């Protein structure tokens, strides 16, 4: 959950998001070093301390400014490709959930169970209880077992939506007539908030996503209770 005056990302709750945070810091440091080098060269030329024609027109400096960017691109591309492969890797998920975007709410179907599914609507401001977050709370949470590979199948009923939970490093477009998939593992218990990240209409900002990660025994109790009520 984000907090006031926060400068960085939300705390990572999945291994993929932890890798993204490391990659962000890695790339940010490269950008910082490039900026310092460019500013130094500009300042040196403006103050006339770097005007030697033998340096500015030498073959050596041309080699440097050709090879150095190539090395920098490799340093960025390799960890980036590694994270992309980690995000696409879906092997033996313990649970598969289908998320369906509507104008303007989400539906969830637990495909491993025959009759386990529900709609999740945003709780209106006047109905919130103390401690709940405005525009982020839903009347039904997507409950999942922690430390288990979860596969999410994402689609939409009407227009484009996007299922996004920043703390889990998940963002997948919901396209009508198409079934997209992604996966994640929650590394700790907690409640993680997200929102539709595609401008889907007038009430785009009123279809929150609430994921609750719980130990396996609590998930089994919750699923049994939901099946009894179905």
The structure's pTM equals 0.84
The CA–CA distances, whole Å, from 133 to 121, 146, 163, 168, 188 equal: 14, 23, 19, 19, 21
Q: Mind listing the domains of the chain with CATH numbers?
A: 15-88 (1.10.287.90), 95-229 (2.60.40.420)
Residue-level pLDDT, tens digit, the chain, 230 residues: 667 787 888 889 999 999 999 999 999 999 999 999 889 888 877 777 666 655 666 677 788 888 999 999 999 999 999 998 888 877 789 999 999 999 999 999 999 998 899 999 999 999 999 989 999 999 999 999 999 999 999 999 999 999 999 999 999 999 999 999 999 999 999 999 999 999 999 999 999 999 999 999 999 999 999 888 76
String of DSSP letters for 170-211: EEEEE-BT--EEEEE--SS-EEEEEEE-S--STTGGG-EEEE
């Amino acid at each position: 959950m984000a907090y006031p005056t926060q400068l960085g990302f939300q705390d990572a709750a999945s291994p993929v998001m932890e890798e993204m945070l490391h990659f962000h810091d890695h790339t940010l440091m490269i950008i910082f070093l490039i900026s310092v080098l460019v500013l130094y060269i500009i300042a040196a030329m403006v103050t006339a301390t770097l005007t030697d024609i033998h340096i500015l027109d030498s073959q050596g400096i041309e080699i440097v400014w050709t090879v150095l960017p190539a090395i920098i691109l490799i340093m960025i591309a390799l960890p980036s490709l590694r994270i992309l492969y980690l995000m696409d890797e879906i092997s033996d998920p313990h649970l598969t959930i289908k998320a369906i975007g509507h104008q303007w709410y989400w539906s969830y179907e637990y495909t491993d169970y025959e009759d386990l599914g529900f709609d999740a609507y945003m709780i209106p401001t006047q109905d919130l209880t103390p401690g709940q977050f405005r525009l982020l709370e839903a009347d039904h949470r997507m409950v999942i077992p922690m430390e288990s590979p979860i596969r999410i199948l994402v689609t939409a009923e009407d227009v484009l939506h996007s299922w996004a939970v920043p703390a889990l490093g998940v963002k997948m477009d919901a396209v009508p007539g198409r079934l997209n998939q992604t996966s994640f593992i929650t590394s700790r218990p907690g409640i993680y908030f997200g929102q539709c990240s595609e401008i889907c209409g007038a009430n785009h900002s009123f279809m929150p996503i609430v994921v609750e990660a719980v130990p396996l025994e609590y998930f089994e109790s919750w699923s049994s209770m939901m099946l009894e009520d179905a």
